[in-house]
Structure 1
């Protein structure tokens, strides 16, 4: 029900701005004991600009169609009467309210990425579709992330710049390993010191607690059952929600899936294989061009690439602004960023060609895009959040022999990322994390789940195709195969994929087994 109605007012620029509207649509569906206050809370929807955390967000959130609100949830679900935190929400309302089905809850993955900007972008891309007519597009920032409060913050902008310029992790000597581990331990300590609620928030940032927040949101939005779109790591959220609240699921689209059984080492190696496959596809495309930075001989692609990027280990290239230099790790990050989508291959080729002439700007732009660094030198908190979530979602690895084996296997799986130096057994930040993990890899065992749709791309570098096949089998779902080289596919312009996914979400029409799109 509405507790207040909308009214027009005027901003300082003279543009019309809608006043905040308070709604109470819950509680809806099953309410766990002790959580009635949260499941039945009202939401006040207003201007989204105050929710922006990056310069890009400030521009995106000016959309008159987008409205934002805050959702209150317990910091610790074991203590619902204890401290409360808030999640940032963004909603773009269905364009045909009379035929509205409900809310489409969206998570872009990461982990650590903000759902607010993603919901706005997808709503724009799908503006004339039946999906947009029938659903509110709702993005949320998971606990500790983006506009949610408190938010995790580990490094300052300057510290992040310094960390990126430092290739210490390539030094496998005992002194180098000790130096890297000291830095990783310091990083974990800073995450505790600089984050509101410190270790308490870090302990609850994993998938286990986020899906409980999602169920609160489902009820507050007035949906008896959840309709959800999750990309990449967002597929883990969808899977865990299905395990935790199977009777609350209406429809799940899981695009770019994580393999539910894979441990952190096997996942790393599989991802290396995926990026090598994408690099090979880029190289095959490149050698057909007269301007290919890697030359015209397929047999010489790898040594040519190494000759371009490996010298950065000892001689980073000056960017010519603010003392920044392109490091080896930044260059490889830039390449990885470009391998996420074929549309970036031209930029990658130009960047490699420029680097041969000691011009690092194009590759640094790609690396900055990956790390979400804006022109003013400010970073989003995505990288810190990524670490925080993975450190509580996965069992920590403290066996140096296993770390060394993992690094060796990774270099074998992805030769283009082999720096030519011995693998290092240095432990990462998760080995020093101040709180224990709350999840671990396992095969889902879900009863009473409706049919779900998993979308898996044959050349996905970050979440390899087979992971989607494995997840669909575990959940009794259907796999839609998309034949392309990119990370995720739904609502990204392929009519075959978009139509199948939209029909499923709107009408609950599950595609036939074996469906393929090109």
Structure 2
């Protein structure tokens, strides 16, 4: 038996042994919006110790508009890591009227997020980062020293939950929610990082899952090196698409200009410490911060806004390098849910030379951006003192439900190659490709929304493998 298979077997045994005591959800009008229902479900911090300490998971419900025609409960799992599913439902407009009519739509704040015992770490450490760019003097040992201090502070302020933030634990929380709802089966919609617990739920509780739609899917079979390389390629691909638009469309304020060269000059300025955040003129914009800002504009995508921001940064006078403030503890906590990633991903970076080798790979895979924002996350998690509780592995799903995977062809965060690989390795999975741009597919076009709605309501798979931009 492989290590991954053994881990799944142990996890499955832990989940399917001795069911948790039945509990009911006590719905109340949500304080923020009384037209929605709110409740909590109590779960163990450590699912292998069901008699140990517990936390309450925040739950929200948007009741089906057509009670007589209701199919069941659709659980929406938010992305991030760190996004609030409760907030997403309270804001409204996430799902079509057809789904709102036929399902009770339920979501959660996953463990460690906002209302569900949010991860807390020292605010001074959370607000600062050591230099993670080798070309500007970043040192691997310094980063790992910082990570140990950060993890110690997170443990101090978060408690034992810090060791149980992984997607498999969230999947078990969802199963507890199903039981509390009194449903025989759930229908799942998940997006981005939410596809991690969705995949874990399909592995652990396939019989309790009616259907699963995974929007912009994570490939949890990749090792750390493969994860970083594919993310970098996705960043380069989506920037290339932006550059092509800018070259052909006169509405781009950089029309006729080599945007790759523009970015390269800005990156060099950021490396020298001369670049300032356009929204915070007194704040330096480092090279990794520049890369992250640009990549995030490719999510929607917001091409005109990105072009304008690059133009603004290009036109600003070069600032003098600012002194680097020391990284110090504040003695006060702040939320930091992004470290949840370290519970699901292992990055085996052995030493500074190995780190340098990975950096050169980043530069080769994204020669324009130079690094994807995943670089900082992988570097940080490589020094996390606790091994991930839900490490990477190939899906181990038996007798699973129908699964529809939807993904953009040009996605800066969850590459299309991930969707292709997950679909190929997951039984009963079908891939629908949106041949356009951006992160998140469900409400991109009438084609993507209709295909998703038909699958979730009738289990009918799309008759075509792709949807084109409107």
Query: Displacement of 1:497 after TM fit?
Result: 0.8
- Which whole-Å CA distance do the structure 2 matches of 1:284 and 1:173 have between them? 30
Contact 2:224 2:378 in 1 (8 A): no
Contact 2:214 2:404 in 1 (8 A): yes
Match of 1:52 in 2: none
Match of 2:398 in 1: 447
Match of 2:121 in 1: 154
Match of 1:135 in 2: 103
Query: Displacement of 1:399 after TM fit?
Result: 1.0
Cα distance change, pair 179–457 in 1 and its aligned pair in 2 (3 A): same
Cα distance change, pair 487–451 in 1 and its aligned pair in 2 (3 A): same
Query: Displacement of 1:517 after TM fit?
Result: 4.1
Match of 1:346 in 2: 304
Contact 2:132 2:138 in 1 (8 A): no
Count the aligned residue pairs: 436
Cα distance change, pair 124–318 in 1 and its aligned pair in 2 (3 A): closer
Contact 2:216 2:407 in 1 (8 A): yes
Report SS of the residue matched to 2:248: coil
Q: Does 1:188 align with 2:151?
A: yes
Match of 2:95 in 1: 126
- Which whole-Å CA distance do the structure 2 matches of 1:282 and 1:478 have between them? 29
Work out which of the residue numbers 27, 32, 45 in structure 1 matches 2:27. 45
Match of 2:9 in 1: none
- Which whole-Å CA distance do the structure 1 matches of 2:210 and 2:383 have between them? 40
Query: Displacement of 1:291 after TM fit?
Result: 6.5
Give the alignment's Cα RMSD to 1 decimal.
2.8
- Which whole-Å CA distance do the structure 2 matches of 1:249 and 1:125 have between them? 22
Q: Does 1:356 align with 2:308?
A: no
- Which whole-Å CA distance do the structure 2 matches of 1:76 and 1:452 have between them? 29
Report SS of the residue matched to 1:428: helix
Contact 1:72 1:86 in 2 (8 A): yes
Query: Displacement of 1:105 after TM fit?
Result: 0.6
Report SS of the residue matched to 1:484: strand
Match of 2:235 in 1: 275
- Which whole-Å CA distance do the structure 1 matches of 2:277 and 2:67 have between them? 55
Report SS of the residue matched to 2:407: strand
Match of 1:35 in 2: 19
- Which whole-Å CA distance do the structure 1 matches of 2:187 and 2:279 have between them? 49
Aligned 1:177-216 pairs, distance under 5 A: 177-195=140-158, 197=159, 200-216=160-176
Structure 2 portions without partners, runs of 5+: 1-14, 319-332
Contact 1:340 1:460 in 2 (8 A): yes
Match of 2:41 in 1: 71
If the length of structure 2 is used for normalisation, what is the TM-score? Answer: 0.85
Q: What do residues 316-344 of structure 1 show as CA deviations (whole Å, max 9, x unaligned)?
A: 427686953433332222101101122x1
Q: Does 1:385 align with 2:337?
A: yes
- Which whole-Å CA distance do the structure 2 matches of 1:176 and 1:340 have between them? 31
Q: Does 1:303 align with 2:261?
A: yes
Q: What do residues 327-372 of structure 1 show as CA deviations (whole Å, max 9, x unaligned)?
A: 3332222101101122x11111111111122289xxxxxxxxxxxx
Q: Does 1:264 align with 2:224?
A: yes
Aligned 1:117-516 pairs, distance under 5 A: 117-121=87-91, 123-126=92-95, 129-149=97-117, 151-156=118-123, 159-163=125-129, 168-172=131-135, 176-195=139-158, 197=159, 200-290=160-250, 292=252, 294=254, 296-297=256-257, 300-313=258-271, 314-317=273-276, 323-342=282-301, 344-358=302-316, 381=335, 384-387=336-339, 389-400=340-351, 401-418=353-370, 428-475=379-426, 476-490=428-442, 492-512=443-463, 514-516=465-467
Q: Which has the higher mean CA deviation after the structures are superposed, 439-448 or 65-74?
A: 439-448
- Which whole-Å CA distance do the structure 2 matches of 1:470 and 1:176 have between them? 34
- Which whole-Å CA distance do the structure 2 matches of 1:396 and 1:512 have between them? 39
Q: Does 1:104 align with 2:74?
A: yes
Report SS of the residue matched to 1:416: coil
If the length of structure 1 is used for normalisation, what is the TM-score? Answer: 0.77
Report SS of the residue matched to 1:71: strand
Contact 1:178 1:426 in 2 (8 A): no
Cα distance change, pair 278–155 in 1 and its aligned pair in 2 (3 A): farther
Cα distance change, pair 189–318 in 1 and its aligned pair in 2 (3 A): same
Query: Displacement of 1:125 after TM fit?
Result: 4.3
Q: What do residues 353-395 of structure 1 show as CA deviations (whole Å, max 9, x unaligned)?
A: 11122289xxxxxxxxxxxxxxxxxx984xx3222x3222123
- Which whole-Å CA distance do the structure 1 matches of 2:284 and 2:382 have between them? 30
Query: Displacement of 1:271 after TM fit?
Result: 1.1
- Which whole-Å CA distance do the structure 2 matches of 1:359 and 1:507 have between them? 58
- Which whole-Å CA distance do the structure 2 matches of 1:438 and 1:97 have between them? 40
- Which whole-Å CA distance do the structure 1 matches of 2:198 and 2:436 have between them? 24
Question: RCO greater where, 1 or 2, for CA within 8 Å and sep 6 or more?
Answer: 2
Report SS of the residue matched to 2:397: coil
Contact 2:276 2:284 in 1 (8 A): yes
